Chains A and B, each alone.
Chain A
Amino acid sequence: MSDETKTKGPLLDRSDSRVAHTTTFGGAVKAFFDRVRSGDLGSLPVVVGLLVIWTVFTSFNPIFLSSSNLVNMLFDSSTVGVISLGIVCVLMVGEIDLSVGSVSGFASAMLGVLWVNHGWPVWLAILAAVAVGAVFGAVYALLFNRLGMPSFVSTLSGLLAVLGMQLYALNHTGSINLPYGSWVVDFGQTMIMPKIVSYGLALLPGLIMLWAGYSSIKRRSAANLSAPSLTGLLFKAGLITVMIEAIVFYLNQSRGIPWMFGLFAGLVIAMNYAFTRTKWGRSMTAVGGNREAARRSGINVRMIYTSAFVLCSMFASFGGVLAAARLASSSEQAGTGDVNLNAIAAAVIGGTSLFGGRGSSYSALLGIIVIQSISNGLTLLDLSSALRYMITGGVLAVAVIVDSLARKSRVSHGRA
């Protein structure tokens, strides 16, 4: 075992002869299949599901995959997608927030009342709505941390209470129309990236990937650790860039990429960084995986729960503001109906586990596209909302079943 090499010796992480290290492309493919078989599905089910859904709907109605319909879908995805990003936060620590729909509805009511009725500057109204959302989250956290109230109960009562507040706020006026021509409504309905900007932004993920990957390779080999190959990195970054640019090109055939979707994607990327590259994200994952172990490691578990609930409610409020902009109104219906279910379903469908400790902000993005595809496709088919509800409910059930089965399989294959 001990080979007395004059140089640096074996790589630190390659000294164990029992591990098969995949260096070839074929090996990487095989490792991928092994991972999937053991229940480490990642985003595979969503991608497969999405392909199936798109194939079915396009065969019924070719308009479904048309550029302009997809652009519409991006507008619609962004509002609930932002809410779903908050759901990822609470699911990460193994809790749930059932009140995001009501919280988003109340935020949209606040926007209308404060901005239109009371003449506040619009940015202040938005800020106030999001701040009030933070207060709701803080209340849930307090009930959870201090009184041990299960989050599904506290947020279920929050669902009703906040809905009541929304109805009360709009009591005298009914729905409030937001002024057309204001930048808020433009942002929600018409603001599209200039083509050149959209192509430029589409380069970013690949470039960031290259830069981060390259500096990691350099640092790892300097530290005598195995490093992934540069060719593989170039290949991956190139593939991603080509794919995104192709999508952007297709969407640019009609209206183009909505700024609102750009904002949503930016939030997704920022949250992904926070989850994977910061101490806070690591603590969130740890608390979701094993709360007691996290506590014994000196993590302030209550703070972590509080941050999860507060962030969730803030994203819900912000999503509500975006929804109001999208509809150009603050109504009593905002945030009711399927908003709640869609936001939660999107996170779960995208691959964030209901059992805590596993998830990614990208699941909000992928999941909401699935949900939006279904609802949009069913609308194109002229199906009633009764059927839409049933089908969306069924899809959520399937997603949760996949989650549970994958978890079982991970346990038996020794992957948490």
Chain B
Amino acid sequence: MTQFSDTRLAEVRQIIDRYPEGKQKSALIPVLHMAQEDFSGWLSPETMDYVASLLQLEPIEVYEVATFYSMFNTQPVGSHVFEVCHTGPCMLRGSDDIISYIKGKLGIGVGETTADGLFTLKTVECLGACGYAPMMQLGKHYREHLTPEKVDAIIEECRQSVA
């Protein structure tokens, strides 16, 4: 069942309170972030319909927003999503090599998920960490100054956290 917990519903109400009366559509992006966190890391049509009903919006208003922003996944993803930056400044400091290394290590291509459903590899555009390249986003945090050794350690850490 797609349904926020009571604490999360209270959070939604708090978010709506940030805007003037009648402007609760502004809560859409924050609430989609919450939904993606709570419901398996992606926004299924069912999840989007639920958010629409919660904010009293037409489902299409939710779909068009969910598909515009790159952080929203409209397809299922693995438990750990490696989002590696490949824009110019990161490329200058070896992001191509790091991406190849991760591909080899996980045995998947960009945009793919490992068969065990643990890892998804994505390439993303500049994340505002160019001085600390190469880098990736993993959940809420950035992993910077990546090396093959660091990547190994991150993969191990992810495996442990699931076990």
A, B bound:
no
Residues of B within 8 A of A (CB): none
